[in-house]
Structure 1
Amino acid sequence: MGRLTRLREALSVAEGDPELVRSQLEAFGRQIPLLYFILVVNTTAVAITHIGCAPAWLSIYFPGVLSALCIIRCLRWWRVRHRVLTHDKAVPELRKLIWLTGLFAVAFSSWSLFLFPYGTAYEQAQVAFYMATTVVGCVFCLMHLRAAAFLLLSIAILSFSSFLVFTGSPVLVAMAVDMTLVGVALAFIIQLYYRTFADVVHAQRELQASQQKTQRLSDDNFRLASIDSLTDLPNRRSFFASLQALSEQALGTNGGFHVGLIDLDGFKQVNDIYGHASGDLVLQEVGLRLLALAEPNLFFARLGGDEFGVLVQNRPANPTLVELGERICKSLSQPYRVAGNVAELSGTIGWAAFPEAGTTVAQVFERADAALYAGKESRRGTPVIFSTEHETRIRRSSLVTQELRHADLEAELFLEFQPICDVLTQRTIGLEALGRWHNARLGAVKPEEFIRIAERTELILRVTEVLLRKALNEAARWPSELYLSFNLSSIDICTSARARRVIDIVAASGVPPHRVSFEITETAVTRDFEQARCSLTMIKKAGCRVSLDDFGTGYSSLSYVHRLPFDTIKVDRSFMTDVDSNGASRKIVKSVLDLCRNLGLECVVEGLETASQVEVVKALGARAMQGYLFSRPMRASAVAGYLQAAVEPGLAAAAQS
């Protein structure tokens, strides 16, 4: 049964091995001209020598037809020699070749047998020689087609050997035996050659597979090194490599390009509210939107977190650049589906031109970052092009940073205090400490300026320490019913160790912790919500109070109120500007007051400057207030005099209302 299976396999097409079938056809295609050359030349030589001693149909017509068929087949091969067959078409083609080989073997063998009796012994010997040489030559041309070679060998050897045996001539019988043995040897050669051929094909296939695997690994390594796996955008490394290449090209050709930095506004809140998995989905969507905007001269990359970069290889005019930035911002501002909800984000872009804004990669990137920073401060969700104003700002920031690093903070930092008043009891209940800095070279530096720089450089830790000690020293002199309100930076609570440092300063001051209220803005909380919650919980457990400052100006404020240990919410001053004339502002303030009342939290309304504003918020249910109407911030030396006054002007106005 096994031998029969192997025989059937030897005489069939290897359909399950596409590479082998393709290789067989390719190899045979190279042998076709030689195969038909052997047939035509040998047949013509035998036919010519038999003209006159054999009938015309055997010596002229029949061999002429056979030779013509060979020439036609050869010409057909020439026309289609470059074709590439699919496996589905290659298998039938191979089967057809096997059948054609059988038909040609029958035709040429039959012609030889009919021709053999004619002529002298020399002509008969020529026919026998013709059969032997032609069979051997054709078999070697068909070595790649094992089934065809076996079929040809079987038909030719068996038919001619049988014919010779039946002649009864001892010489011809010996010749038949010899041809049969040679045929058997040829069969072994065919089998061995075919196995070697198949092994080579399989080895090449494995080599190609190995090379493809190596190439895939190489491509994967390149992808890992150059492509951001989350968004499929080029990564930071690829971005800076392209930036460096563009800068070198631009310097060599006196050309230029634009660098853009994109930052998502509100992404941090998505991570905090919905989790990092949802944040990753948002980043993937951002990547898809940026890829949809990509053009041959427009290169996007993810630099890390929610920051993206863009290179514009040509140098469009500013209006065109702004239009491009607006298209990008519009795309990024479309709603995002997150955990079954809709998240609203926007993107701010800072543009800088090379070489106008900077002649090095570091400079142009820094200028784009400065434009981005300016946009996030005042023009979120829009493109901003770096200008001389930003250059002035960078220089000023560098100067302030340098002076702050080398300042004698103990001597140069001081405090002003602004009262927080209870309009019902007409008494001051606390004072907020406000940091101030006067530098010998810079003069008075605005708090928002030096605090921002101190936070960026982490000098805020030292600033907080100095100001907090000074504030606690002053609070120790106040009446015990007054509390101190002190602002903390996100840097002050970004680790548990830093929160502990703040607690230790309070403990060392001698001021009871319950008299100290630490204010933290919502923006500071959202930078690292979990760590902020941990740090604020530590501060609360130490006995201090915790306030949420600037309520209503950030993202998703309500989501933080019940998740953080707040004692007080301070309504941002922006709602007070038109609270006495705008119904929407009044509704917002009323909602916050009701929220605080329901959650058992205190509420302080900031930014009150007129008696009518006080009258409105008092009617809404507000009690604790702060603003210029009651008192502007005062130096520490003026606090005692303020507290000694029987009735403060602002409280009097509040009482009269």
Structure 2
Amino acid sequence: MFGSLKSILSIESDNPELVQAQLAAFTKQVPLLYFILVTNTVALTATHFDTAPALLTLGVPGILYAVCVLRLVNWRLSRNRLHRHGQAVAKLRATQRLTVVLGAVFFAWSISLYPYGDALQRAHVAFYVANTVIGCIFCLMHLRAAALMLTAIVLVPFTVFFSATGNPVFIALALNVALVAVAMVFILFTYYRDFEALIRSQKELTARQAETQRLSDENHRLANLDSLTNLPNRRQFRTELERRLAEAEADGTAVALGLVDLDGFKPVNDTFGHGVGDRLLMEVGERLSAFSGRGIFPARLGGDEFGLIILGCGCPERLRALGEEICLVLAEPYILNGLTARISGSLGVSILGEAGTTADRLFDRADFALYLAKQNFRGTTVVFSAEHEAEINEQGRIQQALRAADLEAEMSLVFQPQVDADTGRVSGYEALARWESPLVGAVPPGAFIRAAERSGLIGRLTEVLMRKALAAAHAWPDDVRLSINLSTRDIVSNRTVDGLLDIIAESGVDPARLDIEVTETAVMRNFELARENLMRFKARGIGIALDDFGTGHSSLNYVHKLPLTKIKIDRSFIVDIATNELSRSIVRTIVDLSRNVGCVCVVEGMETHEQVLALRRLGCRMMQGYYFARPQTLEETLSRHSLPADATKAARKTG
């Protein structure tokens, strides 16, 4: 019971929210509290001024007025001050102590006036005490302990004092005030309980709001953050880019957009597993984040593609140098779970103003620069330029012409012989596409193949060329082979492969006479799907040739996983084969590799007699190049199925 009473009469310091609420509520009541004390005291002093001693009407009240004014000024000056919890508790405890002291002093002073004056003046004393203390208790409703102490210190002695006077009126007044005090205590407990419940509910509401805000912030973070690398995701990257572009428009800040695509990531992912692949992506994110202090905002856009917002740099040369630095960092070995993985990163950059002024335009131009980097300069940086803009415009013109083209009528084929250098016999032809457009004229194969890939027409184009090539093969002897190139998009499109297999089956040409040629770059884009589709061709008896061998990143690692029947050595190794020992060593290695895996080795790009001699000494037999013949029309191939007499003689001498 004692402990319960003690808790009722003390400040609840373990409830910070309640303490702050009590202090705030009481601060608003302080002016009213001292107004009641001062005005009631002035009125009582006035009625006793002529009958009571000056000490009681001037001296003591003057001191009390001064205390009240000082307290009122102190509270007014501190009403907007933010108090820490300890300060608030100390302030409430000081108020509680002062309430006891002032309550006792004011009561003692008023009772000391009782002996002076007539019955009305005595009644005024009783009225003063009852009226003043009830008003003060209402002002202290938020401080339950102070209000209860004031009730005990003033109203209990008041009831006893006036009950002992023997005057029926004062006795009735005392009993009435006692009953009112009981009612007020009940009201006080009820009010304080509701006040405490209100603060508790506000605390819970604040906690729920904080939790809601936390969840909202977490959802916002998750919605704008890549969970694997902890980099901003595509959504956040786009928002940041839009913001930076708006700022740049206002203050002229230089902004560039970079797109990074990892070269060789999928083979790492397929070989070592997705766990290692994820670790590698995390490491890439960390390496890109290291550039954040240099005005670069990195993000993961999806898969193995990353984005960079580059601030404060609009010079192509500086951007190219910065990009090369980034590419070098990305090309450093990755040590993951005791394994060493090697990849590279290609970077395409577009500059605000030179490449466009909108986010979409910058994305499109950076993507084009990235495409050029991956096609021609893997592991390096390409900054979009005016020349690239002209190329895009030309590509757009070609794409429009391609969409409107009658492919059957406008597309044609020429055939480059593949020669057996030992016999001089043409063993097969590689079909090469040509396009003479009535709208744009003759279009180079590289240009219209790229346009067909970007416009989604490549599958249809390949089917048209396949029919034409198979028709040509019908006219050749049965021992002459036909090689047909498939693009990157073709080899990873199940629909296109289905169509080509149907066309081959309907043509009546023996599939064993056919070779499908794919580049290493095309296969590595989606190795597993490309491998599955190549296996489908192989299952029909069709040969598989890996073109441009040695120019990619993972040839030796993956050549044994593909159903290859031919390996074609890229012409870049042939140019100086007669004089460069390193080129000869590379070719010798590839020839040995081909022999060991059971593949026919075909060398491309011979243009001189010296090259042919050097290749023959290295064991190369199957060759293809201008030295033997340039690409020929179907009619020219039909006129002969072996080398011209002089070329045949030259070829035999090399044997």
Q: Provide the TM-score with structure 2 as the length reference.
A: 0.82
Q: The residue matched to 2:515 in structure 1 has which SS?
A: strand
Stretch moving more, 490-499 or 207-216:
207-216
1:231 is paired with a residue whose SS is: coil
Alignment match of 2:24 (pick from 23, 26, 30): 26
Q: Which of 135, 139, 144 is 2:137 aligned to?
A: 139
**Residues 401, 192 of structure 1: alpha-carbon distance in 2 compared, 3 angstrom cutoff:** same
Instruction: For 2:283 and 2:646, locate their aligned partners in 1 and report how far apart those are by CA, in whole Å.
Output: 53
Query: Is 1:281–2:279 an aligned residue pair?
Result: no
SS in 2 for 1:235: helix
Q: Spell out, residue by residue over 1:342-388, the C-alpha distance to the aligned partner (whole angstroms, 9 max, x if none).
A: 5544353343555x76688876765565555556555663352432x
Give the Cα–Cα distance (whole angstroms) in 1 for the partners of residues 152 and 616 of structure 2. 114
Quote the Cα distance in structure 2 between the aligned partners of 1:599 and 1:463.
Answer: 33
Identity of aligned residues (%): 42
1:609 aligns with 2:607: yes
SS of equivalent to 1:511 = coil
3-state DSSP class of the match of 1:348?
A: strand
- Give, as a single letter, the amino acid of the residue that structure 1 aligns with 2:603: V
Asked if structure 2 preserves the Cα contact closer than 8 Å seen for 1:293 and 1:328, the reply is no
Residues 64/245 of structure 1: CA separation in 2 closer, same or farther (3 Å cut):
same
Residue 382 of structure 1 corresponds to 381
Which 10-residue stretch deviates more, 500-509 or 426-435?
Answer: 426-435
Q: Return the offset for 1:170.
A: 4.6
Give yes or no for contact 2:492–2:533 (8 Å, CA) kept in 1.
Answer: yes
Question: Among 315, 326, 334, which residue is 2:329 paired with?
Answer: 334
Q: Secondary structure at the match of 1:549?
A: strand
Partner of 1:409: 407
Letter in structure 2 aligned against 1:262: L
Deviation at 1:448, TM superposition (A): 0.8
Aligned partner letter, 1:604: V
2: CA distance, partners of 1:394 / 1:148: 84
> In the aligned structure 2, how far is the partner of 1:651 from the partner of 1:159?
139
Worse-matched range after superposition: 142-151 or 584-593 = 584-593
State the 1:454 CA deviation. 1.3
Amino acid at match of 1:542: R
Is the CA contact 2:244–2:255 (under 8 Å) kept in the aligned structure 1? no
Paired residues for 1:537-556 under 5 Å: 537-556=535-554
Decide whether the 8 Å contact of 1:550 with 1:570 is kept in 2: yes
Q: Distance in 2 between matches of 1:97 and 1:617?
A: 105
Aligned residues: 643
- One-letter amino acid of the counterpart of residue 334, structure 1: V
* Residue-by-residue CA offset, 1:289-346 (whole Å, 9 max, x unaligned): 6755558xxx87776662647587x9x8x63x65356436634652375745455443
1:502 to partner: Cα distance: 1.7
The range that moved more, 600-609 or 529-538, is: 600-609
Pairing partner for 1:68 from 66, 81, 91: 66
**Cα distance between partner residues in 1 of 2:458 and 2:422:** 37
CA positional deviation for 1:535: 1.6
Q: CA deviation at 1:186?
A: 0.9
User: More displaced, 182-191 or 414-423?
Assistant: 414-423
Q: Secondary structure at the match of 2:641?
A: helix
Distance 1:176 1:558 in 2: 109
Equivalent residue number for residue 34 of structure 2: 36
Q: In 2, distance between residues paired with 1:267 and 1:70?
A: 84
Q: Alignment partner of 1:416: what SS?
A: strand
Moved more, 176-185 or 16-25: 16-25
Aligned counterparts of 1:504 and 1:108: Cα–Cα separation in 2: 111
Residues 440-449 or 363-372, more deviating = 363-372
Task: Report if aligned partners of 1:143, 1:149 keep a CA contact under 8 Å in 2.
Answer: yes
Q: Is the 8 A contact 1:496 1:535 kept in 2?
A: yes
Q: 1:186 aligns with which of 179, 184, 192?
A: 184
Query: Which runs of no fewer than 5 residues in structure 2 stay unpaired?
Result: none
* Residue identity in the other structure for 2:261: L
Kept in 1, the 8 Å contact 2:349–2:366? The answer is yes
Contact 1:352/1:364 (8 A) holds in 2: yes
User: What's the CA shift for 1:246?
Assistant: 4.8
Of stretches 463-472 and 342-351 in structure 1, the one that deviates more from structure 2 is 342-351
CA apart distance, 1:139: 1.3
Contact 2:288 2:326 in 1 (8 A): no
Give 3-state SS (helix, strand or coil) of 1:334's partner: helix
| Alpha-carbon contact 1:157-1:183 (below 8 Å) kept | yes
CA contact 1:487–1:518 (8 Å) conserved in 2: yes
2: CA distance between counterparts of 1:288 and 1:244? Answer: 18
How do residues 521-560 of structure 1 correspond to structure 2 at under 5 angstroms? 521-560=519-558
**Equivalent residue number for residue 463 of structure 2:** 465
Deviation at 1:69, TM superposition (A): 3.3
Task: Report the CA distance between 1:83 and its aligned residue.
Answer: 1.8
Shift of residue 391 of structure 1? 4.1
Residue in structure 2 matched with residue 235 of structure 1 by the alignment: 235
Query: How big is the shift at 1:31?
Result: 1.5
Aligned to 2:602, what secondary structure does the other structure show?
strand
In 2, Cα distance between the equivalents of 1:91 and 1:566? 85
Equivalent residue letter for 1:161: T
Q: Residues 238, 265 of structure 1: CA spacing in aligned structure 2 closer, same or farther, 3 A cutoff?
A: closer
Q: 2: distance between equivalents of 1:646 and 1:327?
A: 54
Q: Distance in 2 between matches of 1:322 and 1:472?
A: 49
Gaps of 5+ in 1: none
Q: Residues 348 and 371 of structure 2 are in contact (CA less than 8 Å); yes or no, is this contact kept in structure 1?
A: no
Name the SS of the counterpart of 2:141 in structure 1.
coil
Give the corresponding residue for 1:348.
Answer: 347
For residue 487 of structure 1, report the CA deviation from its aligned partner.
Answer: 1.0
Equivalence map 1:447-486=2 (5 Å): 447-486=445-484
Where 1:643 maps in the other structure, the secondary structure is: coil
Equivalent residue, structure 2, for 1:266: 263
Cα distance between partner residues in 2 of 1:192 and 1:28: 17
1:101-112 matches, within 5 Å, as 101-112=99-110
Q: How large is the Cα RMSD of the aligned pairs?
A: 4.3
| Whole-angstrom distance in 2 between the partners of 1:562 and 1:62 | 110
Residue in 2 that maps onto 1:627: 625
Residues 556-602 of structure 1 show CA distances to partners (whole Å, capped at 9, x for unaligned) of 33443244333333332222333444454444444444544454444
Report the more deviating stretch, 444-453 or 256-265.
256-265
Judged with a 3 Å threshold, the aligned counterparts in structure 2 of structure 1 residues 393 and 84 are, in CA distance, closer, same or farther, namely: same
Give the equivalent residue in structure 1 for 2:432.
434
Q: What SS class does the counterpart of residue 570 from structure 1 fall into?
A: strand
Letter paired with 1:570 = K
